[in-house]
């Protein structure tokens, strides 16, 4: 706490937002006066928070949660303290880790799940390096959920009506929003790199510099808050839904992954310029286990509209060099930068759980010395769809895969499945406009 105290005193902080991510990836926690935060050094909250669904309900199966609903002890990670740049008073935010009464990490907390996976790598003398690319849409404020989302009006007074892939002018239509976004990111030391206009109307992509998995998950977690806040201040929404509009492409979170030894040497490329055995095993692990972790990469009912019906979305577990039709793309690179891009995860995925899932798959491939399929040199879109088609199907794959349970933790899997199954059942209980329009008088 000494480093936190010194930083807060030098910046005259008056309040602290004490944060931690829930299963959805949203921020939970407390806002605490600075003097109380420094005095108490943490906060207490009930573990049952992790089993609350996105609708505010709780699953029918709560057997994995302490029946007494004991409090967790949450302690701040000093590496995560940052300004809240949009606050009126000097305010800090800091991400917390969750512990039980014995000082052990709460195994169902998303940050703990990622730490658990990284511990397997550390025991082998390996360090994963990741670089997420996050897509999102800007949309007009939508106060009635019965109405579809539409692109917002830009500086020229008109909404986008045609595809503007990689258009600089289309990005410039929203310059005031992105100027705020970049200012906020700089104040928080979020290492955002490139901003581009994606395929959809008012769809953007932000790229992050490569680095440590925990740090990058933290940055994606904070960036989502930041982008929503910047958009709100200009009267529109930023949404990370996987498929917010039926006639537009979905939004993904592509994850570039490489592997280093403890001296920083890339283990995926060879000195001759080829791919190492570890690299091929890593790809094979992603191919074998991605169906089992799809629920973590596509965690919401809406996620499967992107995967099953979306354009530019992966249909299977093929891999290829510079082949964007594959779910696993290997960019051209020097051996020192050899990596694979996982294109399965949606923008709606919890970044901690998505990173934990993809790294677990790759680790198992290396551990089991799996061999990948032949490289795909044609369009993978021409091959059959081979991923789970719904959240319910994905959850069944997840709870039946013992190696993934061992990697991510059995209690976490039980809790996650229970929460997401409850969300699926709640969604399935809603009668849609389509059903009323086409079935009411026709069946």
Is 109 in contact with 48 (CB distance < 8 Å)?
Answer: no
- The DSSP-derived string for 158-169 is -B--S--TT-HH
Please state, rounded to an integer, the average pLDDT across all residues of the chain.
Answer: 95
Alpha helices in 207-328 (DSSP H): 213-232, 277-297, 303-309
* Arithmetic mean of pLDDT, 5-30: 95
pLDDT in tens, 323-356: 999 999 999 999 999 999 999 999 999 999 999 9
Instruction: Output b/e per residue, 1-35; b: 16+ Cβ within 10 A.
Output: eeebeebbeeeebebbbbbbbbbbbebbbeebebe
Whether residue 138 contacts residue 204, with contact meaning beta carbons closer than 8 Å, is answered with yes
Nearest in space to 279 (alpha carbons), one of 265, 264, 268 = 268
Name the phi and psi angles at 381, rounded to 5: -65, -20
Between CA 315 and CA 311 the distance in angstroms is: 10
**Two tokens, residue 246:** 């039926």
pLDDT digits (tens, 9 = 90+) for 69-90: 789 999 999 999 999 999 999 9
Domains and CATH numbers, the chain: 1-105 (3.10.20.70), 115-407 (3.30.590.10)
Integer Rg of the chain from CA: 22
Residue 111: left (phi > 0), alpha (psi -120 to 50), or beta? alpha
Residue 257 confidence (pLDDT)? 98
Residue 243, SS3?
Answer: coil
For residues 12 and 41, the model is more confident at 12
Residue 4 CA to its chain's centroid (Å): 27
| Residue 62 confidence (pLDDT) | 84
Distance CA 180, CA 405 (A): 42
Reading the block at residue 364, the tokens are 């198992």
Query: What mean pLDDT is predicted for residues 165-186?
Result: 93
pLDDT at residue 64 in the model: 87
pLDDT tens string 349-367: 999 999 999 999 999 999 9
Burial bucket for residue 194 (CB in 10 Å: 0-12, 13-18, 19+): exposed
Compute CA distances 398 → 67, 78, 119, 173, whole Å.
25, 34, 21, 42
Instruction: Give dist(CA 210, CA 34) in Å, integer.
Output: 33
In three-state secondary structure terms, 94 is strand
Pairing of strands 15-21, 91-99: parallel
Distances (CA, A) of 297 to 97, 109, 303, 316, 342: 22, 17, 9, 14, 10
Distance, in Å, from the CA atom of 359 to the CA atom of 191, rounded to the nearest integer, reads: 21
Q: How far apart are CA 242 and CA 135, in angstroms?
A: 9
pLDDT at position 12 over 90:
yes
13-17 average pLDDT score:
96
Phi, psi (degrees; rounded to nearest 5) at 253: -125, 90
Distance of CA 195 to the CA centre of its chain: 18
Confirm if 354 and 257 have CB atoms less than 8 A apart: no
Q: How far is CA 354 from the centre of its chain?
A: 5
Q: In this predicted model, what pLDDT tens digit does every residue of 370-414 receive, in sequence order?
A: 999 999 999 999 999 999 999 999 999 999 999 999 999 999 999
Q: What is the pLDDT of residue 146?
A: 87
Distance CA 176, CA 171 (A): 10
Distance CA(366)–CA(360), nearest Å, equals 10
Give all strands (DSSP E) within 77-231, no chain letters.
82-83, 91-99, 126-140, 192-197, 203-208
Q: What digits encode the pLDDT tens for the residues 209-245?
A: 999 999 999 999 999 999 999 999 999 999 999 999 9
């Amino acid at each position: 706490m000494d480093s936190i105290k010194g930083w807060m005193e030098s910046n005259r902080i008056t309040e602290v937002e004490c944060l931690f991510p829930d299963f959805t990836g949203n921020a939970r926690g407390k806002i605490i006066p600075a003097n109380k935060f420094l005095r108490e050094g943490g906060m207490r909250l009930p573990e049952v928070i992790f089993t609350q669904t996105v609708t505010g309900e709780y699953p029918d199966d709560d057997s994995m949660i302490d029946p007494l609903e004991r409090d967790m002890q949450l302690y701040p990670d000093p590496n995560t303290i940052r300004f809240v740049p949009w606050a009126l008073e000097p305010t800090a935010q800091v991400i917390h880790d969750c512990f039980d009464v014995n000082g052990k990490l709460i195994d169902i907390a998303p940050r703990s799940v990622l730490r658990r996976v990284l511990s397997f790598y550390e025991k082998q003398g390996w360090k994963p390096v990741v670089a997420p690319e996050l897509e999102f849409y800007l949309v007009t404020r939508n106060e009635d959920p019965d109405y579809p989302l539409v692109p917002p009006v830009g500086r020229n007074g008109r909404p986008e009506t045609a595809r503007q892939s990689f258009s600089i002018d289309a990005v410039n239509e929203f310059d005031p929003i992105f100027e705020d976004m970049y200012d906020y990111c700089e104040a928080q030391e979020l290492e955002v790199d490139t901003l581009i206009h994606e395929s959809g109307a008012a769809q953007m992509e932000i790229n992050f510099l490569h680095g440590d998995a925990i740090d990058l998950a933290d940055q994606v977690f904070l960036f989502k808050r930041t982008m929503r806040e910047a958009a709100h201040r200009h009267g529109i929404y930023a949404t990370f839904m996987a498929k917010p509009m039926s006639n537009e492409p979905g939004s993904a979170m592509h994850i570039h992954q490489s592997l280093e030894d403890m001296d920083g040497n890339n283990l995926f490329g060879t000195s001759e310029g080829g791919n190492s055995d570890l690299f091929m095993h890593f790809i094979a692990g992603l191919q074998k286990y991605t169906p089992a972790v799809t629920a973590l990469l596509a965690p919401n009912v809406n996620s499967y509209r992107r995967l099953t019906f979306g354009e530019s979305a992966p249909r299977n577990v093929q891999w290829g060099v510079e082949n964007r039709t594959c779910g696993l793309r290997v960019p051209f690179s020097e051996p020192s930068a050899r990596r694979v891009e996982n294109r399965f995860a949606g923008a709606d995925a919890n970044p901690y759980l998505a990173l934990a899932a993809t790294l677990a798959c790759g680790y198992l491939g290396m551990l089991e010395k799996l061999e990948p399929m032949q490289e795909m040199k044609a369009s993978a879109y021409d091959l059959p769809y081979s991923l789970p088609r719904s959240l319910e199907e994905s959850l069944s794959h997840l709870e039946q895969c013992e190696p993934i349970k061992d990697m991510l933790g059995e209690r976490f899997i039980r809790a996650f499945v229970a929460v997401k199954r409850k969300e699926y059942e709640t969604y399935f209980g809603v009668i849609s406009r389509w059903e009323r329009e086409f079935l009411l008088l026709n069946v």
